[in-house]
Amino acid sequence: MTGASNEIFFRASGRNFFIKGLAGGGLILSGTLRDEDFADIDAGRVNWSRTRSRIKAGNFGDPSRMAIASIDVGYQGRPLSVAPRFRWGVFAGYTYWNEVSDGYGSLTQPLPDAAPKALASVNAAMAAGGDDKDPFELSPPGIVELPGNLRVIRNNRIWHGPRLGIELAHPLTDSLTLKAEFAFLPALMLHDRDSHFIDGGPMPSHLIDGWGIGTQSQVALEWQALDNLKLGVGFRYWQARMTSGSMRAPDERGKAPIDKYTSDRMGGFAELTYAF
């Protein structure tokens, strides 16, 4: 997925301590959403449905979007005797990361040879459970099942939790400074809500909840343009990975374990800092 966002940040310090934070949001402009369904048979866990939808900003009032926020308190370390201009600090805080992506249209994708057997087991389980829905059918790859102007799927995921980190700054010249920040997220909570608008069932259609870990890092080059004004450019990379979690339908109590769930966010940024 690709997107664009705006952020606002602040930092206040006194003696050797500081508090800082940021908040921002924007639109997810493009991308691809792959929806897959699996069944456990004697051949293992087999994919019996695989479609691809186009992600776009979509509805102006309820678009694909993202939002981030964090707040930290920290300690500014004393200068090192071997590098008196080098600055460092440590911090602890809380972070929040939300992405809402809407998939439009549906294009079928190739399936494994065991897909018919997996699908048969799904339909048999539905019939045995008294489900009155029509049985599912396999579609050959390359079939446009739903047009590209129709919103089919929404995925809304939230990661949030504490973070522990270190920040570094080294002046390259009197006006240029290289800065870096690294944070470890030891106990992330994940809440994922997956809504299928065409099925006609309850929404969200699937609920995923779990725990995970992650990292947040960024580097930036900062230029002292005026006494109170700094300009900077940099690059940021965030990663979150589930360590334990499960999925369930909203009208069912049973849960299925999740084997793998990861999120990555990366991109460049430009910043303007004014000191009061």
For residue 236, CA distances in Å to 25, 38, 105 come to: 15, 34, 31
Query: In sequence order, what are the residues at sequence separation of 6 or more whose Cβ sits closer than 8 angstroms to the Cβ of residue 14?
Result: none
The answer to whether residue 172 sits within a structural domain is yes
pLDDT of residue 249: 84
Per DSSP bridges, beta strands 2-14 and 65-76 are: unpaired
pLDDT of residue 254: 76
- How would residue 169 be classed by pLDDT, with cut points 50, 70 and 90? very high
pLDDT at 89 over 90: yes
Q: How does pLDDT run across 226-239, given as a tens digit for each residue?
A: 999 999 999 999 99
pLDDT above 90 covers a percentage of the chain that reads: 63
pLDDT of residue 216: 98
Separation CA 231–CA 250 (nearest Å) = 48
pLDDT of residue 199: 76
Considering its fold, how many domains does the chain have in total?
Answer: 1
The whole-number average pLDDT for the span 1-6 is 94
The answer to whether residue 122 sits within a structural domain is no
The answer to whether residue 233 sits within a structural domain is yes
Q: How does pLDDT run across 11-26, given as a tens digit for each residue?
A: 999 889 999 999 999 9
- Say if residues 220 and 182 touch (Cβ distance below 8 Å): no
The answer to whether residue 52 sits within a structural domain is no
Expressed as residue numbers, the domain containing 264 is 2-30+58-109+152-274
The answer to whether residue 48 sits within a structural domain is no
pLDDT of residue 214: 98
- How many other C-beta atoms can be found within 10 angstroms of the C-beta atom of residue 99? 20
Q: What is the CATH number of the domain that holds 189?
A: 2.40.128.90
pLDDT at 262 over 80: yes
Q: Is 82 helix (H, G, I), strand (E, B) or coil?
A: coil
pLDDT of residue 42: 84
State which of 38-47, 110-119, 137-146, 231-240 shows the largest mean pLDDT: 231-240
The whole-number average pLDDT for the span 35-58 is 86
- How would residue 73 be classed by pLDDT, with cut points 50, 70 and 90? very high
pLDDT above 70 covers a percentage of the chain that reads: 99
The helix or strand, by DSSP H or E, that contains position 127, with its residue range, turns out to be helix 115-128
pLDDT of residue 122: 82
The helix or strand, by DSSP H or E, that contains position 41, with its residue range, turns out to be strand 17-41
pLDDT of residue 187: 98
- How would residue 102 be classed by pLDDT, with cut points 50, 70 and 90? very high
The answer to whether residue 88 sits within a structural domain is yes
The answer to whether residue 49 sits within a structural domain is no
The answer to whether residue 134 sits within a structural domain is no
Top-confidence residue, 253 or 84: 84
pLDDT of residue 92: 98
Top-confidence residue, 109 or 84: 109
